[in-house]
Every structure is written in C-alpha cells, then in structure tokens.
Structure 1
Amino acid sequence: MVDTGAVARNTRGSGSSVSGLKSADVSIAIVCPADTAALADYEIFCSTALHGQAQHPLWLHAWITATNADALIATIRHEGRTKLMVAMEVIKSGPFRVARFMGGAHANGNFVATDPSGQNFVTASVLTALREVVAQARPDIDLICLERQLPDLLGMPNPFAQLATVQSANIALATDMSGGMDAMLARMNGKRKRKKLRYTLNKFSEAGGHRWLEASSAADVETLLSSFFEMKALRFRQNGIPDPFSPMEVQSFFQTLFTQALQQKPAPFVLHGLEVGGRIVGVNGYSITQNSFVCEFCAIDDSEPSLSPGFYLDFVAMEKACEQGKAIYDFSVGDDDYKRTWCDVQTQPFDLLLPLTVKGRLAYAGRLARTRGISAVKSNTRFWTLLKTLRKKVSGYTS
C-alpha cells in the first residue's frame, strides 16, 4: 500500500498522480484499485478486517471487471497501522461526479473495511482529512456519498456512525435465529407458518412436484440468474419501477460474482432457486457472513399465487442458516409486508455525505432533501400506498 506523501500508480490517465496527506497522527493515501497490487493489498487487509459484503474483495473484483469502474481506495492509517480502507467508484450523476460504494443501489448493508482492534478514532478532523486527500487526488469529484451503512457489525460500531449525515430512506429488517428455528417460530406464529408450509408443499405436488436448488456450477448460476432477471424485470414493469438489474454490465457482474464465489469455501455469495413442475418459480441471492444469511435480492413468478415460492425459499434458507449456526436471517433494506411477518430485528442504516467542491455542496443539499423527502413519504403509510398504486397505473402495464 502506498504510504503518506507517496505518488501512486493511476491506470486511468497519463500524468495524473494520487496524493497523500499527513497530520500528527493520521495519514491517508489514495490508490486506484484497478491496479492489481492495490486490490491485493485490500484483500490482505480484509482477511482480518471487518467489512460489509458489498466491500468484500470478490465483490470489488467482479464489479470492476464487469463495469470498468473508475475506482479508488482511500486508506486511513493511525499510529502506523492501517485502520480503514474505503473502496469507492466515481460515477457521473447529472452534472456532478460522485464517489460512492461500488455497486450503487445494489450495495446494501455497507460497512467499510475496518481494523477490529482498538477503539474508533474517526473524528471530524479525520473526515476533513479524507475530504482533502480525495479532492487532492481527484479534483473532478464533487461529492463523496457513502449510503446505506450499517450502524454496527458483529458488535463493532461503524467508525463513521457518530458522524452520519442523515438516516437512510429505507430501514433493514431481519429475523433473530440465535435460538434456532423452533425458538424463532415460537415467537413468529409458528403454528400458522408450519400450516402454510404444508399447504404450499401440497400445492407443489399438485403442480407436478418441486426441487429446491442451490447453484453449484457456472451453468447453475447462469440458469438461476437468467430466470431471476426475467422474473424481476416483469415485476418492475408491473409496478412502474425502473429495473436496476437490466443493464448488461450489472447482469455480468452478478454472473461473475456468484460464479467466482463457488471457488471459495465457504462461499460468501450463494444462489437458491425453486423449481415447480419443471419450471423455475423463485430465485434468492444471498451473501453469507460470519453470523448471518443476507437475502440481497429475490424474485418470484406469482402467476399462481397459491404456490408461495417466496415463503418456501425463505423458510428453507432459515433452516439452513440455523444448521450453519447463524444468528440472523437478514432481509436487507426495504420494508415489505412479507418481511414483517418474519422479522423482529429492525436496523436503521445511515448515509455519509462529504461535499468536496462548490458543485458538491449543491449535490449534497439535493441528496439530503431527497433522502428526507423519501423518508417522510414512506413513513406515511396511507400516502405511500396511494403513491405505489398511482405508479402502477401510470406504468400502463397490462398482462
């Protein structure tokens, strides 16, 4: 890793350099993770650091490969020891250039790679230093926007939590599995859920039988993801929502991510699917952490509502989470009725916004207002329900 004051390699422009900044006890350097050496350093640090799954080295490799991301890593050192490594990509957002977590809206439950030893040392002065060194290295960046960050991970507070700019627009919901499946069901109307499971299995039998699937080869990954993209696209069209999975580079990213994850034991990312009557009717994508199953995305074919493929996939995944000793089944960000039937853990993620330029202050104000506005709308159940209904009507979708 480049040390303070050194000049790093930059593969994205001739003559451009990356700068370092030093204070009495903090030094920061910026490198381009498209550089193999920088990514290798990040991976070494992550082998002992705590980090969110969207900050996993495999996630970074896959995203950069699929999108050719203009990517940076900010390194913060304290008392001669690397304390944080913040991986970001630079994107164009209207008239602004914004540095964000790699993956954009697909990156949830974010937690920068952090040395788990010692107390948090991130203060306002450290954020000032981070601002200055990014601005020095990349004067074209207007705003650092690190969204949907977890307030803590495995009992460790997020180093940026005390300096959060605003609460994220969406909460995250999860289920406490620490006492096992039976204990969870005892709290969550288990008698009704087991009855629904029996009913669902009977419906599967009537429809020609079922198979639960877990991708174990590149071909499996391609099959399940193809079905997922098709089902998800239909659902977004029905609800009048732009499809964030439609870009080919995003689809290539997930194909690479889940295929490469098969080479690691245990796999940090896995795909589950459900086949009924020879047809795939549900796909869930998970990240697997030290203590949790996190459902990063899901899609179902609901043309036959009585099949309940989503319920079945969640139920089986919870059983497997318990078998593996996981304490949490995490539905990730977003508040939906089906999640509420399971969840007894609610987390409020936060966003950190750091303007670097005059334009960046405009972008900061705009994003802050937007986040607060969305939060206000979603907190009004009646208005939010009406808005979703109107959005579906405006979409003009007909089956």
Structure 2
Amino acid sequence: MQKPQPDFETVLDSMTAPADALVVPAPFPIDRLQLDLVDRMEDIEADWRRLEALPQNSLHHAYDWCKAWHQAQQTPLLLVRGRIDGRTVMILPLEAARENGAVIARFIAIRFNNYNTGLLDEDFRFLDAEALQGLRIKLAMLLKGKADLVTLGTMPLLWRDIAHPFTGLYAIEDANHTFQMPLLSSFEQALAQVNAKRRRKKFRVQERRLLERGGYEHVIATTDREKQDILSLFFQQKAARFKQHGLPDVFRPAEIKTFFRNLIAVQPNGHDIPLELHAIRLKGEDDGKIAAISGLSRKGDHVICQFGSIDDTLAPEASPGELLFWLMIKRASEQGVAIFDFGIGDQLYKRSWCTVETVTHQLLLPITVRGWLMMVMLAARTRAKVAIKKRPPLYRFIQKIRRRGQAPQPAPAEND
C-alpha cells in the first residue's frame, strides 16, 4: 500500500494551521538576507561542505557530485549564495543552459538527480508569504541579465514529513514520481511490508537456479580498475537495452560517461558515498561474466539507486537483476539505512518493492518576458506529460509510436 502524498494545497495548509495545532517559527529575516553570485565552486567550498552535511539537504547537491558534473560538462555556473550577517545560510547550485532562445537556470546535473533541495542552513526552515515574496524579488534582481527563467526541478514539497521552505513558490507537479522502501528496524520487518513469504520464496528460487549453473558472487567494486571495468560494462549493457526497446541512450554522450567516471573516483566520507557499484558475477559455465549491475549513492540513512542494467543473455531464468536488489537492500538494512530509494520512474519492479511514492515538483521563477513565455510552455508540456502518464493505455500507445521509428526524444534519467 502506498503512503498517500499530500497535494500542494495540503502542504500549504499544514504550514498555516491554527496556532493551537502548530508552533509557528519566528518570521525568517528576509530583509537581512544578502544574495550574490559566486563564479567558482572552489571559492565557497568550505561553506558548501558545511551545508551539504546537514541531513535535510540532498546528496545530489554535495560538492563532489556537482564538481564531477561541472568538470565533465563545463556549463556556465550560476552559484547563488545567501548570507545573513556574513554567515552563509543558502547555496543554490545552478547552471545556465540555452533552450528555445531562452537562458534557463537549473540545478547542476538535474538530468541525473533523483531529488533536489538546494543547500539550506538548519535554521532555514520556514518562509511565510512575505519572506517568499522577498526571496522571489531578490533572486529576480540578482539573476536579471543572467537568466530568463529559474526552474528548481525534482523538488519534494514534503520530504520525511518536513515541508520544504520554498513551498509556496509557483510549482507544477513532475510527470515522473520517485519510489522508496522504508527499511524499518530490520530486514525482516522491511520484507513484511511487501509480502515477506513470497519474496523469500522468489529469492530461494533465483539463488537455486544460479547455483545450478555454478554459483555467483555479489561484487562491490573497490579498486579503481574494477570500478572502471564495471562502469564500462554498465554503459554497454544499458546501450543494448535502450536499443532493444527503441529508446535513446541517455548515457551515450562522452560527457555523461565522464561525469560518472568522475563520481566513482571520489572517495567515500564515512558512510556517505557518491557512487558505489554493485554487480552479480557468475561462476561455472559463465565464469567471470557479469549479469547485473547497479549504482548506489548514500547519504546518512538514505540510499538511492542511481541506475541499473542487466545482460538478458546471462541466466535470464534466475532474474539476476531482481536478485541483486534483494542483496543490496538486505545489506543496506543491516548497515542501519532507513530508506532504500529506487529513484525516478514508475516501473512494476519498483512498485513490487516500494510502499512509498513521492511526488516532486518544478518551482518556476520567470525573470524576463521571454522567461514568462518559457514558463507557460514548460508548465503546459509538463502537465500534458502528467495527464498522459495517468492514462496507461494512452501512454503505452505513445511509447509504441516512438519505438516504431519516430525521432528520439530526451528520455528521463531513470535507474531502470
């Protein structure tokens, strides 16, 4: 059963409840907030790393994640810094891109981010209507001449029962939702959410079939060579999978491959890991061959599956991709992880594991007339996608047309 997601108005209502039902924080001192643009990430690295360590901030806005993307892409940065009395309380890691004649400021690496928050200080929790309007004006003044439209995409207005401070800005629902599995206090309790008896039986059948072929091992890449080899194999497996389904390969551009190679080179910081590669390596008749690969990121007690691939010519009867999820989720549970996140994209295998579906939004702030026009276009396009995906027969029909040879369209960076 999925956890119901409050809509935009419900989140707003929860922030304006009667005084006897909610302790309202003191108004945010928006008049003291000073914004400026920073040219280089290195110039604010210390503040960046301090803010990224706070649990409410997304792992996708970590310094090393954004640095890996910028080194690969070299897109113009628009790093918005907010300070109060000289202390940095906000960083919006944005980059500029031209689209349809307009310059749009988006979060760094947005195409491969599963959820975004911005980097906000722990006291940056509640913005009333006056503070939001003040922030909107300050951002528009700062970015005038730099961008036509600011779009803060893939943002949950409510994450782990905490409303995002920017809730109240103009928002449209994203077409693709994200899916999570709470791991509770033990792996057994986590399994109980998704029919533990059926899951255990399925795992035993998958494992028996692989053992009959000679066995397998769960590999977690540790050496640089092993990481590079497995990542290269993932690109190959994913390309074959996209081709098989008539979809564009979002991992094909050289700069995208460079981004992920940069990420796996970053050393873990305790339990926090930008990208960790897991695989099922076969023994016996297919000795040394890799049947399934997944890339995981972790921050604190939150693990996100960034991507996955399978070689469907290797032991397809054993569903090695499904087996790998079992092993990764069990390991995460034993390590004290609270949430195993399957990321963006509605797929049957995600729903079979997950009990929580999270709705994310795009927050839009037009700066110029051209930006207003782009906002209208983006809003209409996104709402059309949402409407289509809520009608499965229509969605399947459109997918079928695309596979029959229509011009490839940009595909979402899903981990399936």
TM range (shorter): 0.7 to 0.9
Partner of 2:69: 63
In the TM superposition, what are the counterparts of 1:1-399 in structure 2 within 5 Å?
24-34=31-41, 36-48=42-54, 50-78=56-84, 81-117=87-123, 119-121=125-127, 122-135=131-144, 139-153=145-159, 155-262=161-268, 264-269=269-274, 270-276=276-282, 277=286, 278-303=288-313, 304-394=315-405
The 3-state SS of whatever aligns with 2:353 is coil
- Structure 1's unaligned 5+ residue stretches are 1-21
Identity %: 29
Stretch deviating more after TM superposition (193-202 or 120-129) = 120-129
Q: Which residue of 1 aligns with 2:13?
A: none
Moved more, 373-382 or 299-308: 299-308
1:261 partner amino acid: Q
TM-score, scaled to structure 1: 0.87
Residue aligned with 2:222, SS: coil
Partner of 2:12: none
Q: Which residue of structure 1 aligns with residue 20 of structure 2?
A: none
Q: Which runs of 4+ in 1 moved over 6 A?
A: none
Shift of 1:359: 1.5
Find the aligned partners of 2:140 and 2:256 in 1 and give their Cα distance: 29
After superposition, the CA RMSD in angstroms is: 2.2
Q: 370-379 or 88-97: which moved more?
A: 88-97
* Cα distance change, pair 261–370 in 1 and its aligned pair in 2 (3 A): farther
CA offsets per residue over residues 281-326 of structure 1, 9 Å max, x none?
2111111121221111111122353121221111111111111111
Give CA deviations for 1:59-102 in whole Å, capped at 9, x if unaligned.
01111111122112112234654322100111122322211111
Deviation per residue, 1:155-211 (Å, 9 max, x gap): 542221232411111111111111321112222111111111111112212333212
> Is the 8 Å Cα contact of residues 272 and 300 (structure 2) preserved in structure 1?
no
Q: Which moved more, 1:218-227 or 1:156-165?
A: 156-165
Partner Cα separation in structure 2 for residue 49 and residue 312 of structure 1: 30
Instruction: State whether residues 218 and 281 of structure 2, in contact with CA within 8 Å, keep that contact through their aligned partners in structure 1.
Output: yes
Alpha-carbon spacing, 1:27–1:76, altered in 2? closer, same or farther (3 Å)? same
Mapped partners of 2:62, 2:100: distance in 1: 28
What amino acid is aligned across from residue 289 of structure 1 in structure 2? K
**Alpha-carbon contact 1:164-1:350 (below 8 Å) kept:** no
The 1:164/1:211 distance shift into structure 2, 3 A limit, reads farther
Could you tell me which runs of 5 or more consecutive residues in structure 2 were left unpaired when the two chains were aligned. Answer: 1-28, 408-416
**Contact between 2:125 and 2:164, CA under 8 Å: does it hold in 1?**
no
Helix, strand or coil at the partner of 2:93:
strand
Distance in 2 (CA, whole Å) between partners of 1:102 and 1:210 is: 38
SS at match of 1:24: helix
Distance (Å, rounded) in 2 between the aligned partners of 1:341 and 1:146: 30
Matched residue SS, 1:246? coil
**1:43 Cα deviation (Å)?**
2.2
Taking the aligned partners of 1:51 and 1:164, their CA distance within structure 2 comes to 21
Contact 1:33 1:72 in 2 (8 A): no
Q: Check the 8 A contact 1:66/1:253 in 2, yes or no.
A: yes
Counterparts of 2:202 and 2:53, CA distance in 1: 42
3-state SS of paired residue (1:45): helix
